[in-house]
Amino acid sequence: MTFRFQYQDVIRRPNPMVTINPLARGSNKVVDLQDRVDTLSKSSAWNKQMKMWQALGKKVDLSRMPKVGMFELGKIEIDEDIQRVLDDKHCADKIANLRVFDPALLQTVQCILTSNGKLISIDGQHTSSTIAGLIAAGMVEGVKDWRTFKFPVQYIETDNLAFARRAFSILNGKGKKKQSAYQQLRNAVFIVRIDNDISDDEDVQLEKLVSIAEKNECFPIEAFSNLSKYPGTFSNIATFKSCNDEEVELATSWHNKYFHYESMHVSTFFIFRDICRAFKSAKLPITDKLKEELAGLVQCLFGDLGQYQESVTRAHRLWTTKRYGYQANWDDDAYACALLQLYKHFGGEERVAPNIIDRFDDIIDFFDEDILSLAA
């Protein structure tokens, strides 16, 4: 049986992302707070919220605003029913890490100050413990006793421990807008590209991965961004970061060569990461012929990897139900496995690493008949 899914070229058009890629350079734009106030005043969500405030006659109670003061570390108490158990590794490897420690990056400790003068920590115990530990270890010149060392504390005057508990949840995630994976990636890239700072190996490596992707006209973007309509964009940053240089090169160059007219589906990284690792173990080359025939198979049977994902997740669901009697959770390993099984099923002659296709044996029997009959 001859492999019959020949890849057909698609006209290449200039990719707008090459010029509008937000990671290529910073915006060099600095705005004052008025800009943000203007944004809020035009926001329907904001105006809806303000209408509710007006309807209920609610006003900001300034007496409840937090205060900031310098307090001796020895006065801080940690209520173990509110704060977590101290993570010593977090103190040692993250905050006090030799490569990154900078006192300028320490954050204020958050406390409540009760009417009887107790200062109870609700957030920042790792910071206060680390600085106290550094003093105790003799790492702060001129300071002998951490107990009398004054540290900035942001506090709220209250005797309400329920408030403290709620505040701890809010300060540690619930109610706080976290930095997205893309924003973290952008920071790392800008530290290297704009600030020319190569002191952090992780930032340098991330910038390198982004550069490899950009060379192949693939661009990380924020999830749900307006840019997602442009070719080569992808937003699953975690999977991208899990790949090494070679895997990113393979995935993005394949996408750019064959599917340059599409945004980049996350399965591309899973597929080529798994192929790269398995073929390396099996000491098999990933030939140009294999890459082209896989592209032909995806193009002819599915149109793109997005549609392939729909089909393979359905097949996986049916396969697990038949095999185990229940619907097991999706497994990302099925992307590469099923694709290579389809390749062999339709007569692909290039050698493939057997440990990939053995994983979900005969999963392709559960693909839609409509798809399997296309080989006929």
Report the residue number, 4 or 323, with the smaller CB distance to other proteins: 4
| DSSP code string of 100-157 | T--GGGPPPEEEEE-TTS-EEEEE-HHHHHHHHHHHHTT-STT---GGG-EEEEEEEE
CB of 63 to other proteins, least distance (A): 38
CB of 259 to other proteins, least distance (A): 10
CB of 8 to other proteins, least distance (A): 4
CA distance 295 to 298: 5
Report the residue number, 53 or 261, with the smaller CB distance to other proteins: 261
Report the residue number, 244 or 307, with the smaller CB distance to other proteins: 307
CB of 252 to other proteins, least distance (A): 20
Report the residue number, 253 or 309, with the smaller CB distance to other proteins: 309
Q: Which residue matches tokens 């734009």?
A: 29
Report the residue number, 168 or 302, with the smaller CB distance to other proteins: 302
Is beta strand 233-234 parallel, antiparallel or unpaired with respect to 67-72?
unpaired
* SS3 (DSSP) at 217: coil
Report the residue number, 302 or 319, with the smaller CB distance to other proteins: 302
H/E run at residue 71: strand 67-72
Report the residue number, 93 or 310, with the smaller CB distance to other proteins: 310
CB of 300 to other proteins, least distance (A): 7
The one-character DSSP state at 311 is: H
Report the residue number, 149 or 366, with the smaller CB distance to other proteins: 366
* SS3 (DSSP) at 70: strand
CB of 143 to other proteins, least distance (A): 57
Q: Under a CB-based contact definition with an 8 Å cutoff, are residues 351 and 284 in contact?
A: yes
Q: Which residues bind other proteins (CB under 8 A)?
A: 8, 10-11, 226, 228-229, 261, 263, 299-304, 306-308, 310-311, 368, 370-371, 374
CA distance 300 to 315: 18
**CA distances, 224 to each of 184, 229, 235 (Å):** 16, 10, 8
* Residue 206, C-beta contacts closer than 8 angstroms, at least 6 positions apart: 185, 188, 189, 241
CB of 142 to other proteins, least distance (A): 60
122 burial class (0-12, 13-18, 19+ CB within 10 angstroms)?
A: buried
The one-character DSSP state at 234 is: E
CA distance 279 to 286: 7
CB of 10 to other proteins, least distance (A): 6
CB of 1 to other proteins, least distance (A): 20
The one-character DSSP state at 366 is: G
Report the residue number, 174 or 229, with the smaller CB distance to other proteins: 229
Encoding tokens for residue 12? Answer: 């290449």
CA distance 207 to 211: 6
Phi, psi angles (nearest 5°) of residue 186: -60, -40
Report the residue number, 176 or 229, with the smaller CB distance to other proteins: 229
CB of 12 to other proteins, least distance (A): 10
